[in-house]
Amino acid sequence: MNILHICADPNPTEESTSKQLAVSFFRTLSERNPDVDITNVDLYENPPPYLDYQAIRGFWFPVFIAGHQPTDDEQLAGAYGIEQGEIFNASDIVVLTVPMWNFSVPAILKAWMDQVLSPNVTFTMDKNGTSPLHKVKKLILLVASGEVLKEDDARDALTPLITHSFALAGIKDISIAWADGQYTFKYTDAETRKAMAMEAAEELAEEVVDELAGRT
Ligand SMILES: Cc1cc2nc3c(=O)[nH]c(=O)nc-3n(C[C@H](O)[C@H](O)[C@H](O)COP(=O)(O)O)c2cc1C
């Protein structure tokens, strides 16, 4: 089984709650020693370019104009998305490590999504809808937020963005471990909240192991 881990947090692990959730998830996974290959993509080490005119033409024009073949310039502009898309398409599970910024995801993750969740990269698109080019069965979201809020809160623009964008690409199974209330200057139970979310991340890893073993 292939797991793609996309990390969208620039902070060192000891200063990042979302990265600590990822440590819990992957430590549990490795302790159980399942047959998994993990590909780590740190977006701050390998940043996506903003989608530009040439890349949009390369990805989207074939949807609108039958027979449009991307030019060399268009292919070059879309190279990051195509390379990341190949890793994505070969994955069974995608894990996103994400801090909440301005009630949504950091811009660097949005830029990655704009590249990778593109037609003819990870799905095809026509008047009947989209068809996946990938085999991703599950998305795992490891989130940290300063405020006390979860995915049912009207202020949350993070999970709707992720849910709708990945659903378009054909991925509807999304599990979340969320450490909220991480503003330690405001919430005295921030550490307890983090510990609970780390446990939830461990449970998600157990579920992956069980699924792999055919126990669920
Ligand atoms: C640029 C920026 C914007 C933020 N915006 C929000 C926000 O809209 N809502 C919120 O609850 N917390 C917000 N926070 C707080 C972070 O979500 C919180 O510090 C969280 O722990 C970040 O994850 P990390 O510890 O993994 O880096 C923001 C932090 C930064 C740096």
Domain ranges of the chain: 2-212
What's the pLDDT band for 212 if we cut at 50, 70, 90?
confident
pTM (2 d.p.)? 0.97
Residue ID of nearest Cα to ligand 1 atom 17: 145
96 lines ligand 1 (CB under 6 A): no
pLDDT digits (tens, 9 = 90+) for 22-78: 999 999 999 987 889 999 999 999 999 999 999 999 999 999 999 999 999 999 999
Measured between alpha carbons, how far is residue 87 from residues 4, 76, 102, 132 in Å?
8, 18, 29, 14
Query: What pLDDT shows up at residue 216?
Result: 66
pLDDT digits (tens, 9 = 90+) for 160-193: 999 999 999 999 999 999 999 999 999 999 999 9
114 lines ligand 1 (CB under 6 A): no
Residue ID of nearest Cα to ligand 1 atom 23: 99
Q: What is the DSSP string of 83-111?
A: HHHHHHHT-SEEEEEEE-BTTB--HHHHH
147 lines ligand 1 (CB under 6 A): yes
Q: What is the DSSP string of 66-88?
A: TTPPPPHHHHHHTHHHHHHHHHH
Q: How far is the CA of 99 from the centre of ligand 1 (A)?
A: 6
Ligand 1 atom with least separation from CA of 145 = 17
What is the rounded average pLDDT of the residues 131-151? Answer: 97
In a mutational test of the pocket of ligand 1, which residue from 16, 23, 100 has the highest number of ligand atoms less than 8 Å from its CB? 100
Helix (H, G, I), strand (E, B) or coil at 59: helix
Q: CA 132 to CA 135: how far, in whole Å?
A: 7
Query: What pLDDT shows up at residue 208?
Result: 93
- Residue 41 contacts residue 7 (beta carbons within 8 Å): yes
pLDDT digits (tens, 9 = 90+) for 87-126: 999 999 999 999 999 999 999 999 999 999 999 999 999 9
Query: What pLDDT shows up at residue 182?
Result: 98
2-212 architecture in CATH? 3-Layer(aba) Sandwich (3.40)
Share of the chain above pLDDT 90, in %: 94
What's the pLDDT band for 211 if we cut at 50, 70, 90?
confident
Q: How far is the CA of 103 from the centre of ligand 1 (A)?
A: 8
Q: How far is the CA of 22 from the centre of ligand 1 (A)?
A: 16
Tokens (6 digits) for 75: 């292919």
Q: How many CB atoms lie within 10 A of CB 194?
A: 20
In a mutational test of the pocket of ligand 1, which residue from 19, 96, 101 has the highest number of ligand atoms less than 8 Å from its CB? 101
153 lines ligand 1 (CB under 6 A): no
List, in sequence order, the alpha helices (H) in 137-178: 158-168
